[in-house]
């Protein structure tokens, strides 16, 4: 091979590696992106059962019911709609009624939500960002700093 051919081979190798990487990235994106909804958005949106989504809002007061073992069910609300959520596992330390929560999972055909992960805030001043933004839009936002001080 001449030097020119060698250089071409190297460049072709590099470019094909990058192309492969781009394809992998696109494929991985199509597999693992989850859209975020608040309960009233979810009521309007057409989300087919089985699609992975994230659902956020406030844990409705008085809705938490503990079942067998580590099964828990509760409702997530944004002041308007509310969605029933079931979850099996240990809830985060800061999971409380009336507090912000983000759950990830899928809808059942009956429009109930089966979560496989539940995230709550990390400290008492902090609300999951998507939830805070959503609540501000809905006009039911209370600044936690004002609320605690």
Cα 61 from Cα 92, distance rounded (Å): 17
Cα 20 from Cα 7, distance rounded (Å): 20
Shortest approach of another protein to residue 146 CB, angstroms?
13
Shortest approach of another protein to residue 54 CB, angstroms?
6
Q: Which residues bind another protein (CB under 8 A)?
A: 6, 9-10, 13-14, 17-18, 21, 24-25, 27-29, 31-36, 54, 66, 69-70, 88-91, 93-94, 102, 104, 122-126, 128-130, 133
Shortest approach of another protein to residue 37 CB, angstroms?
8
Q: Please, which residue, 61 or 124, has the CB nearer to another protein?
A: 124
Report yes or no: 127 and 144 within 8 Å, Cβ to Cβ.
Answer: yes
The strand pair at 65-66 and 113-120 is best described as unpaired
Residue carrying structure tokens 């007061």: 61
Q: Please, which residue, 93 or 109, has the CB nearer to another protein?
A: 93
Cα 108 from Cα 114, distance rounded (Å): 7
Shortest approach of another protein to residue 38 CB, angstroms?
9
């Amino acid at each position: 091979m001449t030097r020119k051919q060698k250089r071409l081979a190297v460049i072709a190798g590099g470019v094909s590696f990058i192309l492969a990487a781009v394809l992998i990235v696109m494929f991985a994106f199509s597999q693992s992106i989850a859209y975020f909804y608040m309960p009233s958005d979810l009521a309007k949106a057409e989300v087919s059962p089985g699609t992975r989504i994230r659902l956020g809002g406030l844990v409705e007061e008085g809705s938490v019911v503990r079942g067998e073992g580590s099964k828990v069910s509760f409702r997530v609300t944004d002041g308007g709609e509310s969605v029933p959520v079931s979850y099996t596992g240990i809830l985060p330390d800061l999971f409380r009624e009336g507090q912000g929560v983000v759950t990830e999972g899928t809808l059942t055909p009956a429009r109930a939500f089966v979560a496989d992960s539940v995230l709550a805030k990390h400290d008492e001043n902090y609300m999951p960002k998507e939830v805070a933004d959503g609540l501000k839009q809905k006009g039911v936002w209370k600044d936690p700093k004002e609320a605690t001080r």
